[in-house]
Amino acid sequence: MSAETTVREYYEAVRNGDPLGPYFADHLATVKFGISEQLRGSEEITEALAEQTRTTEEWRIESTDLSVTERGDCAWFADLVDMAWTDTGTGERFSFDSRWSGTIDAGDGDWKFVSMHVSAPREL
């Protein structure tokens, strides 16, 4: 499997409500920055993403400009993503034109995110 396939499968897992923790490297230095949070270490990332999956539904993740570069066991990616979801507790719908980037490592045989950054531009 390629690093690009891993990114695309992650997007599909978000849409489907599948577990997201397995896409991240099992390491204390793994980091995920979201629109409103900073998560460090695979345990914290896995717990937060499980809670996200439990409390949200109707995800839309539409990649519009994915670029992935592989160099040996390391890869990096960047994308513009149209994303939206519904909060199951309030019924509120959230929608963002977002930017995604990160680093993926295949040192253990499978491509895993070691860093991911999701942000939404804000007008100044």
| Cα–Cα distance measured from residue 41 to residue 39, given in angstroms and rounded to the nearest whole number | 7
- pLDDT of residue 100 exceeding 90, the answer is yes
Q: What is the DSSP string of 29-97?
A: T-EEE-SS-EEESHHHHHHHHHHHHHHEEEEEEEESS-EEEEETTEEEEEEEEEEEEEETTT--EEEEE
pLDDT in tens, 70-79: 999 999 999 9
- pLDDT value, residue 124: 56
The domains of the chain are located at 3-119
pLDDT in tens, 26-72: 999 999 999 889 999 999 999 999 999 999 999 999 999 999 999 99
Strand partners, 77: 68, 102
| Cα–Cα distance measured from residue 38 to residue 61, given in angstroms and rounded to the nearest whole number | 20
By DSSP bridging, strand 74-87 and strand 67-71 are antiparallel
User: What's the distance, CA 57 to chain centroid?
Assistant: 16
pTM value is 0.94
- pLDDT value, residue 29: 96
Fold of 3-119: Nuclear Transport Factor 2; Chain: A, (3.10.450)
Neighbouring residues of 116: CB distance < 8 A, sequence distance ≥ 6: 24, 31, 32, 33, 100, 101, 102
- pLDDT of residue 106 exceeding 60, the answer is yes
**Residue 124 or residue 107, greater confidence:** 107
Q: What is the average pLDDT across 16-23? A: 96
pLDDT in tens, 3-18: 999 999 999 999 999 9
